[in-house]
Amino acid sequence: MVDVKASLHELEDLLTELETLLKNPDLGSVLAERGVNVSLALVGTEGLRAYLGGDKERAAEEFDTLAEEIATRLEASKELAKGKPS
């Protein structure tokens, strides 16, 4: 049988480890080269933490912010690629 309390603690530890990795400057540089914004990745991590913790309202806010920012940046990069300032 699964120890739910231990599993939840392990999940929390994994999210904390993910945050620590995302804050690593070397990894941040590699992710930036791939077009990944670490700050947005951290927002997504917080959204996941909130959702898994049962705070669906906060999770929705975090994921809405994440989705809006990604969509805005994606559109801006498409416009830039076309040679049109946004």
* CA atoms of 15 and 67, how far apart (whole Å): 20
Residues 6+ apart with CB under 8 A from 43: 62, 65, 66, 69
pLDDT at 85: 59
- Residue 68, pLDDT > 90, answer yes
Q: 66 lies in which domain range?
A: 4-82
Instruction: Please count the structural domains in the chain.
Output: 1
* CA atoms of 45 and 31, how far apart (whole Å): 15
**To the nearest whole percent, how much of the chain has pLDDT over 70?**
97
- Residue 86, pLDDT > 70, answer no
Maximum Cα–Cα distance across the chain: 59
Q: How many CA atoms lie within 13 A of 43 on its CB side?
A: 16
